[in-house]
Amino acid sequence: MLARIIAPGNYRRGTGVIGAAGQALKSLGARACLVGGHRALAAAAPALREAMASAGVEPVGQVWYGGECCPENIAMVAAAIKEKGADFLVGVGGGKALDTAKGAAWQAGVPLVTVPTIAATCAAFTSIAIIYDREGHFLAISHEAANPSLVLVDSQIIAAAPWRYLAAGMGDTLAKYIELRATSTAVSPHLALEGALGLARLCYDSILAAGENYISA
């Protein structure tokens, strides 16, 4: 059985990785629009702008994502991309900000860069968006979301975030194994699925064994 695997085109992780990403950003276009949460943009935008300047990429706008991943905010960001004439979008922040960016990039038809600033979700890597209404009530899991062309995980920014986000990420990762184990029974076994289950179980066991050592109140 053939398995379809969707993953970002380029994934980079490490201390200061954003600063070294100028040429990777340049490969996506000459004009970039940044979108994200206020605190996330404050943490990552300076390094992103320096990286862009080093490669001759022009930042043509910086947009707040609206505070909720809802259809209205996705449409708002997509309109901003088109209005500013951006060649690609850089989404910065946590899950809802990055899901909004994925939906907006898909609507605008431009490549997407994701820059997570917390370790709470897997939103920077996936090609789906969790959609809510303006009040935060769940609506749908949307596949009308851009698959990231580039993911930049700057471990220095991640490590500087409040510890509760790391704890949230551990909880999210623990749940992934439970979810995958339950849903995998609906399909025939194949190599990709077995690999995913094995990796999910490894993460699950590692967090239960040592996770408490990395968080504190």
pTM for the full predicted model: 0.90
Dihedral sign (CA 188, 194, 199, 200): positive
The per-residue pLDDT for range 70-126, each reduced to its tens digit, is 999 999 999 999 999 999 999 999 999 999 999 999 999 999 999 999 999 899 999
> DSSP letter at 31?
E
CA of residue 18 relative to chain centroid, distance: 14
* Sequence letter at residue 201: R
| Residue 113: strand, helix, or coil | strand
User: CB of 143 within 8 A of CB of 121?
Assistant: no
The string of pLDDT tens digits covering residues 102-111 is 999 999 999 9
Task: Identify which of 149, 154, 152 has the alpha carbon closest to the alpha carbon of residue 8.
Answer: 149
Strand partners, 184: none
Q: What is the pLDDT of residues 22-53, one digit of tens each?
A: 999 999 999 999 999 999 999 999 999 999 99
